[in-house]
Amino acid sequence: MGESTTLANTGAWPVDLDLNHRLILKQEETYALRLAWCVLDKPQLSVWMILIPILLVQYFSRSKQHRAALLSFSEKVLQTKKQALDLAREELERSRAPEELEMGWAEDDPRAPRPPPEPEPSRAGPQAPGLATLEEAHRAEVELLKGHYRRLLTQRGATHVELIRGAYPTAGEYRDFLERLARAEAGVHRAVLAVRTGDEDSREVVSRMQGCARRLRDVEAALIFGKAAFSTET
């Protein structure tokens, strides 16, 4: 037998946690960068900038700042996802015997990783409500993502699409997860805005993030399950 994260093949394709972890992380990195491109306005090059050198210099300076902002934005988007992914993998490696990883879960196995139930609304008291709510909202998002990643990590597949299809047999199940994720993220956004009262720039960024995230995930889901299936299945 090789490393503990790549189980020996005993007649079935083994679950490779290393590969699955890489596939998931790569997909999340791609999503975060696409979200950044959608949210952050790119400097526009005009004919006047070409004709007037000083304007062209300013354009290249803004473009450089834009690239740095894209990387910074995408890294911040990734933070929670990396935390949840690492926790999911650690829990699987601690709690599941090697033969279970090798066999994989049956679809109807009650022990199979499932997204956790949606958390109850916050009951934080009046003291420091912004901070308490933010901590709770962040924890709820991590728990939801952790359950999602546990499902993906225990699938057999050579691509992220295959992991998704294995973890979510129907488009409806995947749509349900995406809707729950959107609600969890919105809870974090509300908590952030609660401690940044009067910050209209933050509100605009949050609004654009939510709209962009919805569009990007709709496209991803349609590519995985087919546009018709995702839009009509219940």
What gap in Å lies between CA 27 and CA 15, rounded to an integer?
Answer: 18
Residue 201 is predicted with a pLDDT of: 80
What gap in Å lies between CA 189 and CA 32, rounded to an integer?
Answer: 16
Residue 165 is predicted with a pLDDT of: 95
CB 46 within 8 A of CB 87: no
Residue 194 is predicted with a pLDDT of: 86
Residue 217 is predicted with a pLDDT of: 95
Residue numbers in the chain where pLDDT is lower than 70: 1-13, 42-66, 68-69, 96-132, 228-234
**How distant, in Å, are the alpha carbons of 126, 179, 216, 227 from that of 233?**
43, 14, 19, 10
Q: H/E element holding 58? A: helix 53-95
Residue ranges covered by each domain of the chain: 17-111+125-232
CA dihedral 141, 143, 149, 151 (to 10 degrees): -130
Residue 7 is predicted with a pLDDT of: 36
pLDDT tens readout for residues 175-212: 999 999 999 999 999 988 888 777 788 888 899 999 99
pLDDT tens readout for residues 61-81: 555 665 766 778 789 999 999
